[in-house]
Amino acid sequence: MSKVIHIDPEAPSAEAVNLAATVLRDGGIVVFPTETVYGIGASATSCIGPQEIIDIKMRPKNKPLPWLVEDEDALDTYGVDVPEYAHRLAKAFWPGALTIVVKAADVVAPEFRDDRGTVALRCPDHDLVQDLIRASGNAIITTSANTSGKPPAGSFDELEERIIAAADLTLDGGETLHRTASTVVDCIGPEPVITREGAIASDDILKAAAGVAP
Protein backbone atom coordinates (compact mmCIF):
# COMPACT_ATOMS: atom_id res chain seq x y z
CA MET A 1 0.00 0.00 0.00
CA SER A 2 1.18 3.52 -0.71
CA LYS A 3 2.26 5.93 1.96
CA VAL A 4 -0.60 7.66 3.80
CA ILE A 5 -0.02 10.92 5.68
CA HIS A 6 -2.58 12.50 8.01
CA ILE A 7 -2.83 16.27 7.52
CA ASP A 8 -4.79 19.28 8.69
CA PRO A 9 -6.33 20.45 5.38
CA GLU A 10 -6.63 24.02 6.64
CA ALA A 11 -3.03 24.16 7.88
CA PRO A 12 -1.04 21.43 6.15
CA SER A 13 2.54 21.04 7.34
CA ALA A 14 5.32 22.23 5.07
CA GLU A 15 6.81 18.74 5.26
CA ALA A 16 3.66 17.09 3.91
CA VAL A 17 3.23 19.70 1.16
CA ASN A 18 6.86 19.43 0.08
CA LEU A 19 6.73 15.64 0.03
CA ALA A 20 3.56 15.64 -2.10
CA ALA A 21 4.98 18.31 -4.40
CA THR A 22 8.14 16.25 -4.87
CA VAL A 23 6.05 13.21 -5.82
CA LEU A 24 4.15 15.33 -8.36
CA ARG A 25 7.31 16.85 -9.84
CA ASP A 26 8.80 13.36 -10.16
CA GLY A 27 5.81 12.22 -12.22
CA GLY A 28 4.04 10.40 -9.39
CA ILE A 29 0.39 10.12 -8.39
CA VAL A 30 -1.06 11.78 -5.27
CA VAL A 31 -4.52 11.37 -3.71
CA PHE A 32 -5.63 14.44 -1.75
CA PRO A 33 -8.70 16.18 -0.35
CA THR A 34 -10.20 19.27 -1.98
CA GLU A 35 -13.19 21.32 -0.83
CA THR A 36 -15.44 19.21 -3.08
CA VAL A 37 -14.31 15.56 -3.00
CA TYR A 38 -11.02 13.65 -2.87
CA GLY A 39 -8.98 13.91 -6.04
CA ILE A 40 -6.28 11.81 -7.67
CA GLY A 41 -3.73 13.96 -9.44
CA ALA A 42 -0.48 14.30 -11.35
CA SER A 43 1.58 17.28 -12.48
CA ALA A 44 0.54 18.85 -15.78
CA THR A 45 4.15 18.35 -16.89
CA SER A 46 4.10 14.60 -16.23
CA CYS A 47 4.44 12.39 -19.29
CA ILE A 48 2.87 9.25 -17.77
CA GLY A 49 0.91 10.50 -14.76
CA PRO A 50 -2.31 11.46 -16.55
CA GLN A 51 -2.48 8.13 -18.38
CA GLU A 52 -1.82 6.32 -15.11
CA ILE A 53 -4.72 8.19 -13.49
CA ILE A 54 -7.01 7.14 -16.34
CA ASP A 55 -5.93 3.52 -15.88
CA ILE A 56 -6.37 3.62 -12.09
CA LYS A 57 -9.80 5.25 -12.32
CA MET A 58 -10.83 3.06 -15.27
CA ARG A 59 -11.94 6.29 -16.95
CA PRO A 60 -12.78 6.41 -20.68
CA LYS A 61 -9.67 7.44 -22.59
CA ASN A 62 -11.60 9.96 -24.69
CA LYS A 63 -12.63 11.89 -21.56
CA PRO A 64 -9.78 14.30 -20.71
CA LEU A 65 -8.82 15.12 -17.13
CA PRO A 66 -9.61 18.51 -15.55
CA TRP A 67 -6.81 20.82 -14.38
CA LEU A 68 -6.53 22.46 -10.96
CA VAL A 69 -5.04 25.95 -11.37
CA GLU A 70 -3.92 28.80 -9.14
CA ASP A 71 -6.08 31.75 -10.22
CA GLU A 72 -8.21 33.41 -12.89
CA ASP A 73 -5.17 34.17 -15.06
CA ALA A 74 -5.12 30.46 -15.91
CA LEU A 75 -8.15 30.98 -18.17
CA ASP A 76 -5.96 32.93 -20.58
CA THR A 77 -2.83 30.85 -19.95
CA TYR A 78 -4.43 27.52 -20.82
CA GLY A 79 -7.41 28.79 -22.82
CA VAL A 80 -7.99 30.84 -25.99
CA ASP A 81 -10.99 32.85 -27.18
CA VAL A 82 -12.26 32.82 -23.61
CA PRO A 83 -15.60 34.66 -23.45
CA GLU A 84 -16.05 37.49 -20.99
CA TYR A 85 -18.82 35.62 -19.18
CA ALA A 86 -16.29 32.90 -18.30
CA HIS A 87 -14.16 35.55 -16.60
CA ARG A 88 -17.25 36.79 -14.78
CA LEU A 89 -17.84 33.26 -13.51
CA ALA A 90 -14.24 32.97 -12.36
CA LYS A 91 -14.44 36.31 -10.56
CA ALA A 92 -17.67 35.23 -8.85
CA PHE A 93 -16.80 31.65 -7.87
CA TRP A 94 -13.02 31.17 -7.99
CA PRO A 95 -11.46 29.97 -5.88
CA GLY A 96 -14.31 27.54 -5.45
CA ALA A 97 -16.29 24.55 -6.62
CA LEU A 98 -16.68 25.59 -10.26
CA THR A 99 -15.05 23.90 -13.26
CA ILE A 100 -14.89 26.06 -16.39
CA VAL A 101 -14.47 24.43 -19.81
CA VAL A 102 -12.77 26.61 -22.45
CA LYS A 103 -11.02 26.19 -25.80
CA ALA A 104 -7.50 24.95 -25.08
CA ALA A 105 -4.41 27.01 -25.85
CA ASP A 106 -1.40 25.55 -27.63
CA VAL A 107 0.35 24.99 -24.28
CA VAL A 108 -2.22 22.27 -23.54
CA ALA A 109 -1.00 19.05 -25.15
CA PRO A 110 -3.45 17.35 -27.54
CA GLU A 111 -3.83 14.33 -25.24
CA PHE A 112 -5.22 16.64 -22.53
CA ARG A 113 -8.02 18.01 -24.75
CA ASP A 114 -11.38 16.54 -25.69
CA ASP A 115 -12.43 16.01 -29.31
CA ARG A 116 -13.61 19.64 -29.47
CA GLY A 117 -10.19 20.90 -28.38
CA THR A 118 -11.24 22.04 -24.90
CA VAL A 119 -9.69 21.92 -21.44
CA ALA A 120 -11.52 21.97 -18.07
CA LEU A 121 -10.07 24.29 -15.41
CA ARG A 122 -10.85 24.79 -11.72
CA CYS A 123 -9.25 27.05 -9.12
CA PRO A 124 -9.80 25.26 -5.79
CA ASP A 125 -10.76 27.03 -2.57
CA HIS A 126 -8.53 24.77 -0.52
CA ASP A 127 -5.29 25.72 1.22
CA LEU A 128 -3.66 22.33 0.73
CA VAL A 129 -4.34 22.16 -3.02
CA GLN A 130 -3.22 25.74 -3.57
CA ASP A 131 -0.03 24.96 -1.65
CA LEU A 132 0.52 21.89 -3.85
CA ILE A 133 0.07 23.89 -7.06
CA ARG A 134 2.58 26.51 -5.92
CA ALA A 135 5.08 24.04 -4.42
CA SER A 136 5.06 21.74 -7.45
CA GLY A 137 5.31 24.70 -9.80
CA ASN A 138 2.56 23.51 -12.15
CA ALA A 139 -1.14 22.98 -12.57
CA ILE A 140 -2.37 19.60 -11.32
CA ILE A 141 -4.24 17.31 -13.68
CA THR A 142 -6.85 15.55 -11.59
CA THR A 143 -10.18 13.78 -11.32
CA SER A 144 -12.21 12.43 -8.44
CA ALA A 145 -10.45 9.59 -6.64
CA ASN A 146 -12.89 6.78 -7.35
CA THR A 147 -13.47 4.08 -9.91
CA SER A 148 -15.37 5.54 -12.86
CA GLY A 149 -19.09 5.06 -12.28
CA LYS A 150 -18.80 4.83 -8.49
CA PRO A 151 -19.64 7.70 -6.10
CA PRO A 152 -16.80 10.15 -5.39
CA ALA A 153 -15.24 10.08 -1.94
CA GLY A 154 -16.27 12.91 0.37
CA SER A 155 -13.96 11.66 3.12
CA PHE A 156 -10.79 9.63 3.52
CA ASP A 157 -12.82 6.71 4.91
CA GLU A 158 -14.81 6.55 1.65
CA LEU A 159 -11.72 6.10 -0.53
CA GLU A 160 -11.44 2.70 -2.18
CA GLU A 161 -8.49 0.70 -0.89
CA ARG A 162 -7.30 -0.05 -4.41
CA ILE A 163 -7.14 3.68 -5.21
CA ILE A 164 -4.94 4.30 -2.17
CA ALA A 165 -2.80 1.30 -3.05
CA ALA A 166 -2.30 2.48 -6.63
CA ALA A 167 -1.22 6.01 -5.68
CA ASP A 168 2.33 6.94 -4.69
CA LEU A 169 1.09 9.09 -1.80
CA THR A 170 -2.28 9.72 -0.13
CA LEU A 171 -3.01 12.73 2.06
CA ASP A 172 -5.68 12.01 4.67
CA GLY A 173 -7.52 15.23 5.44
CA GLY A 174 -10.65 13.65 6.90
CA GLU A 175 -13.96 14.87 5.48
CA THR A 176 -14.24 17.41 2.65
CA LEU A 177 -16.28 20.60 2.96
CA HIS A 178 -18.94 20.06 0.29
CA ARG A 179 -18.80 16.27 -0.09
CA THR A 180 -20.03 16.70 -3.65
CA ALA A 181 -18.37 17.40 -6.98
CA SER A 182 -17.92 20.81 -8.58
CA THR A 183 -20.40 22.37 -10.97
CA VAL A 184 -19.14 22.16 -14.57
CA VAL A 185 -19.90 24.92 -17.09
CA ASP A 186 -19.08 24.71 -20.80
CA CYS A 187 -17.87 28.14 -21.91
CA ILE A 188 -16.96 27.65 -25.56
CA GLY A 189 -20.16 29.09 -27.03
CA PRO A 190 -21.95 32.45 -26.85
CA GLU A 191 -23.73 31.40 -23.66
CA PRO A 192 -22.75 29.15 -20.74
CA VAL A 193 -23.99 25.56 -20.72
CA ILE A 194 -24.13 23.78 -17.39
CA THR A 195 -23.09 20.17 -18.01
CA ARG A 196 -23.06 19.10 -14.36
CA GLU A 197 -24.70 20.77 -11.40
CA GLY A 198 -22.65 20.21 -8.28
CA ALA A 199 -21.81 22.34 -5.27
CA ILE A 200 -22.89 25.61 -6.95
CA ALA A 201 -26.51 25.98 -8.05
CA SER A 202 -27.34 26.48 -11.73
CA ASP A 203 -29.34 29.65 -11.05
CA ASP A 204 -26.34 31.26 -9.36
CA ILE A 205 -24.14 30.32 -12.32
CA LEU A 206 -26.48 31.83 -14.89
CA LYS A 207 -26.91 35.05 -12.90
CA ALA A 208 -23.16 35.51 -12.47
CA ALA A 209 -22.50 34.81 -16.14
CA ALA A 210 -25.01 37.48 -17.09
CA GLY A 211 -23.38 39.95 -14.71
CA VAL A 212 -26.32 40.00 -12.29
CA ALA A 213 -25.19 40.82 -8.76
CA PRO A 214 -26.14 38.27 -6.09
How far, in Å, CA of 6 to CA of 152, rounded? 20
Which pLDDT score is estimated for 1? 47
Task: List residues bridging with 205 in a β-sheet.
Answer: none
How much is the pTM? 0.94
| pLDDT score for 62 | 75
Contacting residues for 47 by C-beta, under 8 A, at least 6 apart: 27
Q: Residue 146: how many CB atoms within 10 A of its CB?
A: 21
Give residue 63's pLDDT.
79
From first to last of its 214 residues, the chain has per-residue pLDDT tens of 469 999 998 899 999 999 999 999 999 999 999 999 999 999 999 888 888 999 999 988 777 899 999 999 999 999 999 999 999 999 999 999 999 999 999 999 888 888 899 999 999 999 999 999 999 999 999 999 999 999 999 999 999 999 999 999 999 999 999 999 999 999 999 999 999 999 999 999 999 999 986 6
Residue 31's DSSP bridge partners are 40, 170
Structure confidence at residue 39 (pLDDT): 97
| Residues whose CB is less than 8 angstroms from the CB of residue 103 and which lie 6 or more positions away in sequence, other chains included | 79, 80, 81, 82, 116, 117, 118, 119, 188
- Predicted local confidence at residue 64, as pLDDT: 81
Greatest extent of the chain over all pairs of C-alpha atoms, in Å: 49
Domains and CATH numbers, the chain: 1-70+123-179 (3.90.870.10), 80-119+182-214 (no CATH)
Q: What pLDDT, on the 0 to 100 scale, is given for residue 102? A: 98
The per-residue pLDDT for 214 is 63
Residue 70: which of 119, 139, 156 has the closest Cα? 139
